[in-house]
Every structure is written in C-alpha cells, then in structure tokens.
Amino acid sequence: MFKPGWKDIFRMNQNELESEIRKVSRDPTLDPRRKAYLIQNLMTSCWIAAQQKFPQARKEEDVDCEGGVAGCSPSFRDSEKQIYGCEHYKRNCKLLATCCNKLFTCRFCHDKVSDHSMDRKATNEMMRIRCLKVQAIGQTCKTPSCNAFSMAKYYCNICKFFDDERMVYHCPFCNLCRVGKGLGIDFFHCMKCNCCLGMKLVEHKCREKGLETNCPICCDFLFTSSAAVRALPCAHFMHSACFQAYTCSHYTCPICSKSLGDMAVCFGMLDALLAAEELPEEYNDRCLDILCNDCDKKKEGLASIGFITSAVSVDPTIQG
C-alpha cells in the first residue's frame, strides 16, 4: 500500500522515488486510474518541489510588464541564493534594448541570442527585477514602494553599465568602463597606445592604438573586451587566458615572432647541442644570412645550414 505523504515525497532522492514508483506499479489493490495518478505525481515531484521553493520568484515571472515588453521576468546570477543578475554580471535590473525593444540583463545576453549587437550607450530604459517596472535608466529604482533601491554598487550614466560585484571606473579617454580602482590608483591611460595599462607598465614599448585590434589567438576585439588583456614585451597584446594557453607550447609572439621572455638560457643550451652536431661534408663551408627576430638585426654568413631556430629567420633580402 502506498503511504508516503507529500512532505515525505519532496524529501526523497532519485533512488527512493524510483523505488516508490515500482511499489505503486506492482500494487494490485490500486485502481488503474489511481495508480496512473500516483505515478505521474511521483515522477513530477522534483519539478513541483522546485516551483514551491521560490514561490515569490515564480509569482513575479507571471506578471506582465507595461506595454507587453518581451523578457519581463526575473533573472538570477545565483537562483539558490536569490541573487539577481546573469552569468556575466550581478545587478538588480534589466536593460531595454532600443534595437529590438526587448529586456536583457546585459549586452552579452542580448548578443548571445540576437543576430545583431546591442548599443548599450543608446539604452534609455531599464526594469527593476524585483518590482518589474520599466522606467528611465538610473542608479536607483523610481517606484515609490522600492524606496530608491540601488540597482548596483557601480553605475555609469555614459556607458549605461551596472556592476554590483567588482570595482569599476570610467576612463574618459577610452570612453569605456574598465575593471579597477581608477586612473592614477592601479591604472593609467597611455595616450599613444590609447588604452589603460597597469601601473607596473608605466615604462613600456608604445604601439599606436595597440589595443584596437583582435586577439591573435581567439580573434575577439581587445579594446572592448571584458576579459583581462596582457601586454607582451614586443608591445603586442592578447588575452591573459589566451597567453596562458598559448605559452604552454610556444615562446614567441604569434604576430612578430619575438621571444615572449628571456630565452638566453634556453638558446645557450641549444647552441651547446648544435655545436656537438656534425654536418655532411658538402655543407661544412656553407652559411646562411639571417635576420634576428628579437633585435631585428641582419647578419651575413652567421648560421650554418640546418641549424636555424625560431629565434632567427632566413632573410630573403640578403643574397648569401
């Protein structure tokens, strides 16, 4: 006989539920309709429990926005802890995209499901996730009952950007919001490179508009990227994550072939190994003209045939 109550069912794990379903299926005392009803409810008990776990959130999802705007439902960065936002940002509002008149938590959420990019600076309206009221964009909610509730710790009226987790500042030269404490604190803006760099890079090789290009590894545009960017010794740039993966198997810049670090010890070991090698007699007196990738200097007759490494390349402009 099937005896567990609903409270007991909601506490069951998957194995216990399957066991109860088998018991119901084999019980000869149950009417076929009653048996089908119990099995159906047992199989959907996990879903029922999930709906009852956040009754307020589910109630809000069913509320329509003014004007029937699409996307009028709460979004969570952490649904279990009831933290609003999305996978990209923690914030208490959604943005109304002017391009398609739909609500999205951030521009990345918009671009992920759209065939066009969202112009975040053109955003004029937002919806507070709690009260679901579409209103003029701003730092606080304008609904009287919300008592000027803050949308996020940081808000930029230029970029229409909210962030409730990280330290963010707006660079007037980049005209973008960057992650950090601010200019003159942990970052400075190089006018020639036209980008913000860490204070440790005050002395660096400048490359005009060096960040206004794609990452040589993943090909994403670096200037507006939200991921951390690393400056290479040669003044090229790539994402820090791409750098970590790339340097597991390479030690030269993928753009200019310059060394990514001090390779003196490694090259010294290679020189010692190559010095012990012997070439066939017909190549003993032959040398190549080379161009050093690191110092950009040309040398005539410096390298023996067969002993060229990635530190140098054969110079096509020099006739050997």
**pLDDT tens per residue, range 232-261:** 988 899 999 999 999 999 989 999 999 988
Is 272 within the bounds of a domain?
A: yes
In a shared domain, residues 211 and 143: no
The last residue of a domain, from among 53, 70, 91: 53
In this prediction, residue 304 carries a pLDDT of 55
Number of domains in the chain: 4
Is 10 within the bounds of a domain?
A: yes
Q: What is the mean pLDDT of residues 119-140?
A: 92
The last residue of a domain, from among 166, 182, 217: 166
Long-range CB contacts (within 8 A, 24+) of 136-140: 137/95
In a shared domain, residues 152 and 112: yes
Length of the chain: 320
Q: Which is more confidently placed, 278 or 157? A: 157
What beta strand segments (E) does the chain contain?
76-78, 83-84, 93-97, 102-104, 125-128, 134-136, 154-156, 161-163, 168-171, 176-179, 187-190, 195-198, 229-231, 237-239, 287-292, 298-304, 312-314
Q: DSSP 3-state assignment of 293?
A: coil
In this prediction, residue 11 carries a pLDDT of 62
Give the structural domain span for 10: 6-53
Distance CA 176, CA 184 (A): 16
Question: Which residues lie below 8 Å from residue 230, measured CB to CB, with a gap of 6+?
Answer: 237, 238, 239, 240, 243
Nearest Cα neighbor of 123 from 152, 158, 155, 91 is 158
Is 257 within the bounds of a domain?
A: no
- pLDDT band for position 50 (50/70/90)? low
Distance CA 49, CA 292 (A): 68
- pLDDT band for position 20 (50/70/90)? confident
Q: What is the DSSP string of 63-117?
A: PPPTT--BT-S--EEETTTTEEB-SS-B-SEEEEETTTTEEESSHHHHHHHSSS-
In a shared domain, residues 156 and 79: yes
In this prediction, residue 36 carries a pLDDT of 82
Is 149 within the bounds of a domain?
A: yes
Nearest Cα neighbor of 195 from 185, 209, 183 is 209
In a shared domain, residues 157 and 176: no
In a shared domain, residues 62 and 162: yes
Is 256 within the bounds of a domain?
A: no
Distance CA 206, CA 229 (A): 15
Is 276 within the bounds of a domain?
A: yes
Mean pLDDT of the chain: 82
In this prediction, residue 185 carries a pLDDT of 95
In a shared domain, residues 296 and 241: no
In a shared domain, residues 238 and 273: no
CB hemisphere CA count around 211 (13 angstroms): 21
Asked whether the beta carbons of 84 and 91 are under 8 A apart, the reply is yes
In a shared domain, residues 156 and 64: yes
In a shared domain, residues 20 and 44: yes
Is 319 within the bounds of a domain?
A: no
Would you state the structure tokens that stand for residue 105, as one six-digit string?
Answer: 């938590």
The last residue of a domain, from among 192, 214, 246: 246
In a shared domain, residues 44 and 93: no
In this prediction, residue 12 carries a pLDDT of 65
Q: DSSP 3-state assignment of 237?
A: strand
Q: Minimum mean pLDDT among 43-57, 70-84, 197-211: which range?
A: 43-57
Position 305: which residue type? I
Nearest 5°: the CA angle 136, 138, 140 is 110
CA dihedral 233, 236, 242, 243 (to 10 degrees): -10
In a shared domain, residues 134 and 174: no
**pLDDT tens per residue, range 68-117:** 678 888 889 988 888 999 999 999 999 999 999 999 999 999 998 888 88
CB hemisphere CA count around 41 (13 angstroms): 14
In a shared domain, residues 75 and 156: yes
Q: DSSP 3-state assignment of 185?
A: coil
In this prediction, residue 295 carries a pLDDT of 84
Is 251 within the bounds of a domain?
A: no
